Amino acid sequence: MKNQQIAALFNEIASLLEIKGENPFRIRAYQRAAVNIGGLTQDVAAMADEELRSIPGIGPDLVGRIREFLGEERVALHEDLKKEIPAGLLDILRVPGVGPKTVKTLYEKAEVRGLDDLETLIREGNLAGLPGIQRKAEENIRKGIEMLHRGRERNPLGKAMPIADDIVRKLRAKTPLGRIAVAGSIRRWKETVKDIDLLATSARPEKVMKVFTSLPVVREVLEHGTKKTSILTAEGIQVDLRVVAESSFGAALQHFTGSKEHNIKLREMARRIGLKINEYGIFRENDEMRIGGRREGEIYTALGLPFIPPELREDGGEIEAGSEGALPRLLTVEEIRGDLHVHTRWSDGGHDLDVLVQAAKKKGYQYIAITDHSKGLGIAHGLDERRLRDQIALIDETNRTLTGFRILKGVEVDIRGDGTLDLPDGVLGELDIVVASIHSGFRQSREKITARLLSAVRNPLVGVIAHPTGRLLGERDPYDVDMEAVFREAAARGVAMEINAHPARLDLSDHHVRMAKRYRIPLVISTDAHVNGDFDYMEYGVATARRGWAVPGDVLNTLPCSSLLKRLRSGRNREVRSLGRKT
DNA sequence: GCCGTTTTCGGCCCGACTGTTTTCAGTCG
């Protein structure tokens, strides 16, 4: 699938055009096209011209560029731009605080052709003095380069969310606040976030901002105003706090929750019916009459839309679905009835059955599946056949003491390098649920990895593929795998794909969830809990499912225990029957 | 470069903060 490559190409074209000082709307057109192609679940290579045209922001020219890229792996416009503009200028454009105009000045007035040149210029004290650049600007650029070198522009949601919650708690305790909320991509539960957006109301904004800038987590104050103040935390995450009037809180929450693309589309919609939206409210254009803004829902109501859950606000068709009354009724965390991927001290978990059962009951669950590692994972003290049988016996015994709750017998069996499973079918057949996953050979070729997963999916005893792409956010890229092939096979055999809710994984990703839905693949959402507190990660998994437009019916662990077991067994029987006919 | 129940041409979301200006440009979200 070349979608991501095309999206990256269009973004690069946009940046090059920016540096050239081209028509901003042409630039936006390329950026918009990049976002929409990047978010597509279908392969553009498999789409007809008419289908391509139906993608928002793709017109005749861009269809041509897409075709050109698919055919020749390159685009003439892009090649021409690269001849004209040194590639190093794109790096400079990535420096926070440096935009296209500055890049152009640097190139034209100081012959800067890349980051190295720029750093030399600063070291030799020749930056300040260029048009529009004095001492402060030089200092900001220097800091921007430092920030870029530190890298990690985006932070995993699991890291940002607790920091945001902590700051909110402190501000609540120490300042005269009315309301306060976390907005931005955190509120949309995006898997990585660039910064933390906070929104508050207060009669005394100066006081709030003063306390904010002097919180212990603050390493540096980036901007200090009465409406907006930005700081950098010790961890290097930027936090923006905005204080707005009570009457604008809803509009501001809508505005700062984004996404940008979602908001642009809403505003275009508003304009067409004579309305104007900004972060202070929604207004009639002709007489500036305010028609809403205190509550977030008023913005949507004024446009004739239902409330759109933040997780869907990516301009991924949610506005169109809303106007047609076709928004999905998204899954909620309360509908989850159990966790199907849990480790104990038998392998690398931290707790025994009783502690985990307690914690699961406290979450209101009806069941959990114990899925310790198999023997191939020596480092995790994985179970061999004998120990797994011992655990099965222990679970049976424990279940007899429980009422209204059931422990499912399971395993997280390793898919070995050659695609075989790490335990024989005999013992796997004694379990309620077999979860299979890859823990080694991440660098194998696309063909090999795909074949491994396919062979696991084809084993009739396997019910779930866990963390299907193997990624660790910000640490390890997903392995190279043909997910469409895996999804096709899983759909044919009714094998479920896991949304691993651990914030370090979120695997499947939201994007893959949407793709899985297209293939009508059953999903499960599991935390991969290693200690009892990990059960709380379920919220991240459900949010990821919601971002993928999942409804309760898509997710197996919304089922009551008996239905779930029936469902898991039916997969096996169907396969066994068809095998039986052949022989 | 896209797009159209006002338009096939002339629009294209909107505002805050900073720094360098002495009324605004650049950047960001």
Beta-carbon-side half-sphere exposure of residue A140 (alpha carbons within 13 Å): 13
In this prediction, what percent of chain A has a pLDDT beyond 90? Answer: 58
Q: Which tokens go with A30?
A: 């390329």
pLDDT tens digits for range A188-210 = 999 988 899 999 999 888 889 99
Q: Is the CB of A66 under 7 A from strand B?
A: no
Nearest protein residue to nucleotide B25 (CA to C1' distance) is A132
Task: Give the CATH number of domain A3-151.
Answer: 1.10.150.110
Over chain A, what is the mean pLDDT? 90
Q: Is the CB of A293 under 7 A from strand B?
A: no
Q: A500 or A148: which carries more pLDDT confidence? A: A500
Q: What is the pLDDT of residue A573?
A: 56
pLDDT tens digits for range A478-511 = 888 999 999 999 999 999 999 999 998 999 999 9
Nearest protein residue to nucleotide B18 (CA to C1' distance) is A223
- Rounded to an integer, what distance in angstroms lies between the CA atom of residue A393 and that of residue A412? 17
Q: Is the CB of A135 under 7 A from strand B?
A: yes
Chain A residues 462-501 with Cβ under 7 Å of strand B are none
Task: Give the CATH number of domain A155-243.
Answer: 3.30.460.10
Place of tokens 């190139």: A107
Query: Hey, which residues does A370 pair with through a beta bridge?
Result: A342, A409
Torsion of CA A145, A9, A268, A188, to 10 degrees: -60
> Which positions in strand B are less than 7 Å from the protein's CB atoms?
1-3, 5-7, 11-21, 25-29
pLDDT tens digits for range A456-480 = 999 999 999 999 999 888 777 788 8
Do A554 and A545 meet the contact criterion of CB atoms below 8 Å apart? yes
CA of A18 to C1' of B10 (A): 22
CA of A471 to C1' of B17 (A): 38
Would you place residue A579 in the very low, low, confident or very high pLDDT band (cuts 50, 70, 90)? Answer: very low
CA of A237 to C1' of B13 (A): 27
Closest CA to A339 of A408, A397, A246: A408
What are the phi and psi torsion angles at A35 (to 5°)? Answer: -60, -45
Class of domain A334-582: alpha beta
Q: Is the CB of A288 under 7 A from strand B?
A: no
pLDDT tens digits for range A128-137 = 888 888 888 8
Q: A38 or A474: which carries more pLDDT confidence? A: A38
Q: Which CATH number fits domain A248-323: 3.40.50.1980, 3.10.20.30, 3.30.210.10, 3.20.20.10?
A: 3.30.210.10
Q: Is the CB of A49 under 7 A from strand B?
A: no
pLDDT tens digits for range A285-334 = 877 888 889 999 999 999 999 999 999 999 888 999 998 899 999 999 99
pLDDT tens digits for range A405-457 = 999 999 999 999 889 999 999 999 999 999 999 998 887 888 899 999 999 99
Residue A43 has pLDDT above 80, yes or no: yes
Q: What is the mean pLDDT of residues A142-151?
A: 79
Closest CA to A519 of A552, A546, A496: A496
- Rounded to an integer, what distance in angstroms lies between the CA atom of residue A368 and that of residue A471? 24
Q: How far is CA A371 from CA A233, A361, A396, A416, A529, in A?
A: 38, 18, 15, 17, 10
Least confident of A351-360, A371-380, A497-506: A371-380
DSSP string computed for A425-464: HHHHTTSSEEEEE--S-TTS-HHHHHHHHHHHHHSTT--E
Do A331 and A558 meet the contact criterion of CB atoms below 8 Å apart? yes
Nearest protein residue to nucleotide B11 (CA to C1' distance) is A25
Q: A144 or A550: which carries more pLDDT confidence? A: A550
- Rounded to an integer, what distance in angstroms lies between the CA atom of residue A506 and that of residue A468? 10
Any idea how long chain A is?
Answer: 583
pTM, two decimals, is: 0.82
Q: Is the CB of A195 under 7 A from strand B?
A: yes
Q: What is the mean pLDDT of residues A560-568?
A: 94
- Rounded to an integer, what distance in angstroms lies between the CA atom of residue A450 and that of residue A441? 12
DSSP string computed for A180-238: EEE-HHHHTT-SEESEEEEEEE-S-HHHHHHHHHTSTTEEEEEEE-SSEEEEEETTS-E
CA of A392 to C1' of B2 (A): 62
Bridge-based pairing of strands A290-292 and A281-284 is antiparallel
Q: A358 or A151: which carries more pLDDT confidence? A: A358
CA of A342 to C1' of B16 (A): 47
Q: Is the CB of A263 under 7 A from strand B?
A: yes
pLDDT tens digits for range A265-275 = 899 889 888 89
Q: Roughly what angle, to the nearest 10 degrees, separates helices A510-518 and A538-547? A: 60
Q: What is the pLDDT of residue A311?
A: 96
Nearest protein residue to nucleotide B12 (CA to C1' distance) is A25
Domain-by-domain residue ranges, chain A? Answer: 3-151, 155-243, 248-323, 334-582
